[in-house]
Structure 1
Amino acid sequence: MTDPKAILLDIEGTTSSISFVADELFPYARRHLAAFVQNHPEVSAPILAEVPGDDRVATLLRWIDEDRKETPLKTLQGLIWAQGYADGELKGHVYPDTPEALRRWTQAGLPVFIYSSGSIAAQKLIFGHSVAGDLTPLLSGYFDTTTGPKRETGSYAKIADAIGAMPGDVLFVSDIQAEIDAARDAGLQALLIDREGDAGDVHSLAEIRA
């Protein structure tokens, strides 16, 4: 691996536990979705317009159950989570090595970016209201599915262009092999992180001495 000039990180399984999203965030959004739509019609209406079906709330709930990466759902979830974070009911999980790595890279002059299937708003909430405090000053930018699917090569080429870096100068870290493959096909450096087993290139962000 050559020294990268920028770091690009996935969230679930990389900076934060999958269980936090699956066991806390998704159920929270599911519980509050119908009431949020009813109580915030002016915000919800343009989002619901992008959802197919006669019963659009039911469609959204089904998408949550199916873990669909649909942009309207991600947008609405982000708004619901924003309320939960503001009320102090939610705190974003990050692994202990995450803030340490973010500080290390930032101090070394490396900009750090996030690329997750969760909306940019939701990403900012996790890092802005994390169990380790506000980590957003350590991040230089965010990307979500509006850039493109995470398993498509073109998405990573777009991100490298957006941050003004050659693809080979960007290091992407994720726990999903298909995403790693797509990033490598785009010319990025990429490392598979496996926090629970021995299948990955690394097992924590502490191992990445970029």
Structure 2
Amino acid sequence: MVHYKLTYFDARGLAETARQLFVLADVEFEDNRLTIEEFQKLKPTLPSGQVPILHVDGFEISQSAAIWRYLARKFGYSGKTPEEEATADSIIDHFKDFLVSFKHYGAGLFFGKSQEELNRVRKEIVEPACKFYFSVLKKYLEKNTSGYLVGSDLTYADIAVAENLTSLKNTNFFNPDEEKTLAAFHQKVNETPKLKEYLEKRKYSIL
């Protein structure tokens, strides 16, 4: 049996999409959650000094999106056709572009920045980025009649974006009452039976 070990902080963050792919596939994995102190000791040994890292029987994969794509293709959540795969990949690229802006706020929360600085980042950086990001996502959803971002079935792009919307909701950047299309999508993904059961039991973290 293949042994999977996923290493990240004790938070959802960039590891949660991988965790949910394991849940959907009913595949066991070692969920290795680091403290800040443990991460600092491990950091010099990591390919880019970052987590998450996925070990597959000793084979090491770094970078979150690469991990998600690997698992999605292995477990059947990458899209049904090459065109669907390419669309899912492009949506993830949109998400990663947005994350460049959002990480200023997320890192500020994680490392205890002042409320004044958080408010500045919120207004000047993240809120404008959210507006554009949401407009991109809604174009995909309005074009696709299934309620998913790609094709007729759940893909890793849906999982990653829905998980990100949860973080944006927790930090008051996403208001379901104001974004009906995104709210319906978020609910649809989170009510996927295996995910719903997992989400109801998982440990809370704001990000």
For the criterion TM > 0.5, the same-fold answer is no
What TM-score, normalized by structure 1, do the two folds share?
0.35
Task: Specify which structure has the bigger relative contact order, considering alpha-carbon pairs within 8 angstroms and separated by 6 or more residues.
Answer: 1
The structure with the largest helix share of the pair is 2
What TM-score, normalized by structure 2, do the two folds share?
0.35
